[in-house]
Amino acid sequence: MEDFAKALEQHDYQFQKGQTVRGKVFQYDSNGAYVDIGGKSAAFLPADQASLQQVTDLSTVLPLQEELEFLIIRDQDADGQVTLSRRQLEIQHIWERIEQMQENRQTVQVRVTGANKGGVTVDVLGLRGFIPRSHLVEKENMESLKGQTLTASFLEVDYDNKKLVLSNRLATRASSFSQLEIGQLATGKVASIQPFGVFVDLNGVSGLLHIKQVSQNYTASLPALFKIGQEIKAVIIDLDEGRGRISLSTKVLENYPGEIQEKMDEVMTNAEARANKARKLVSEE
């Protein structure tokens, strides 16, 4: 009974793994630092748990006698000593910040650290994240992205499983959408030609020039008018950010039905003046 009572006396039940505590560093040693957290024994913080960043001098991040927060990462040992971490606490705070950013639909700047067939690994505020290939704007030469900074939005934030998946494509699309409005004259390049219309790359987002919006006259052949990579100007007639759809029109730039089929270059050269004229007509209506 006496031994049991001594064991209870040594063990401080107010300190448990996963708990955040406040304390003051009072001594350094070659492996870390000793911290007074108000327990029967001093707590220990290993050197590799001092910060998320690499630290050579503990005093720069753990000044003596300055009250700081710590996370208990290991329960008390036989001597009643708990193990602390500042690094894990910083990581916890970053996850909380990321969860808030996802909730607010914010984007983040990430640095590409590696690439494989499935996508790229990225540094997200010090944490490791992943952007799948399908969510990259640049899919063909992913190795060239190493070291580059990309804008990304959050697809999956799972703190329990330490899973962080992002999208560069959606963030780019959202940014581009914020700069677009109905009635605006947009400049882009023909990305593909389909039987029903032409897809136009507008600075990373895709707009559709439907065959019925090409000319006031019937258009028999889109390949006869457009070529892949051709730069064209068109008026935005509809925006649906939720579905990622941009509808375009060149027929509103015509002075008469079929003009774009006869004088494409002339219509494109004077597109800005024609778009302004079209906007005035719409506003007068």
- Ordered DSSP codes for the chain: -HHHHHHHHH--TT--TT-EEEEEEEEEETTEEEEE-SSSS-EEEEGGGS-SS--S-GGGTS-TT-EEEEEEEE---TTS--EEESHHHHHHHHHHHHHHHHHTT--EEEEEEEEETTEEEEEETTEEEEEEGGG-S--S-GGGGTT-EEEEEEEEEETTTTEEEEEHHHHHHHHHHHT--TT-EEEEEEEEEETTEEEEEETTEEEEEEGGGT-SS--S-STTT--TT-EEEEEEEEEETTTTEEEEESGGG-SSTTHHHH-HHHHHHTHHHHHHHHHHHHHH-
Q: At residue 50, does pLDDT exceed 50?
A: yes
Q: Residues 81, 96: one domain?
A: no
Report how far residue 208's alpha carbon sits from residue 175's, in angstroms, rounded to the nearest whole number: 18
Residues of the domain holding 15: 2-85
| Residue 241 in domain | yes
Q: Residues 100, 67: one domain?
A: no
pLDDT digit string (tens) for 203-224? 777 899 999 999 999 999 999 9
Q: Residues 39, 77: one domain?
A: yes
Q: Residues 132, 74: one domain?
A: no
| Residue 135 in domain | yes
Q: At residue 11, does pLDDT exceed 80?
A: no
| Residue 285 in domain | no
Q: Residues 26, 107: one domain?
A: no
Q: At residue 283, does pLDDT exceed 70?
A: no
| Residue 26 in domain | yes
Which of 148, 173, 198 is where one domain is finished?
173
Total domain count for the chain?
A: 3
pLDDT digit string (tens) for 195-206? 999 999 887 778
Q: Higher pLDDT residue, 130 or 40?
A: 130
pLDDT score for 282 = 57
**Which token pair is 15?**
């300190």
Q: At residue 34, does pLDDT exceed 90?
A: yes
Q: Residues 237, 219: one domain?
A: yes
| Residue 270 in domain | yes
Q: Residues 76, 160: one domain?
A: no
pLDDT score for 242 = 67
Residue 163's nearest CA partner among 155, 175, 151, 171 is 155
Q: Residues 69, 113: one domain?
A: no
| Residue 284 in domain | no
pLDDT digit string (tens) for 237-262? 998 876 778 999 999 999 999 999 99
pLDDT digit string (tens) for 102-161? 988 889 999 999 999 999 999 999 999 999 999 998 888 899 999 999 999 999 999 989
pLDDT score for 22 = 94
pTM: 0.62
| Residue 45 in domain | yes
Q: Residues 110, 42: one domain?
A: no
Contact present, 114 and 121 (Cβ < 8 Å): yes
Q: How many other CB atoms sit within 10 Å of the CB of residue 251?
A: 23
Which of 53, 85, 117 is where one domain is finished?
85
**For range 60-66, the mean pLDDT:** 93
pLDDT score for 250 = 95
**For range 45-60, the mean pLDDT:** 91
Q: Residues 9, 47: one domain?
A: yes
pLDDT score for 174 = 77
Which of 35, 53, 85 is where one domain is finished?
85
CATH number for the domain including 53? 2.40.50.140
Q: Residues 219, 149: one domain?
A: no
Contact present, 139 and 133 (Cβ < 8 Å): yes
Q: Residues 78, 95: one domain?
A: no
Assign 4 a pLDDT band (cuts: 50, 70, 90). Answer: very low
Q: At residue 12, does pLDDT exceed 60?
A: no
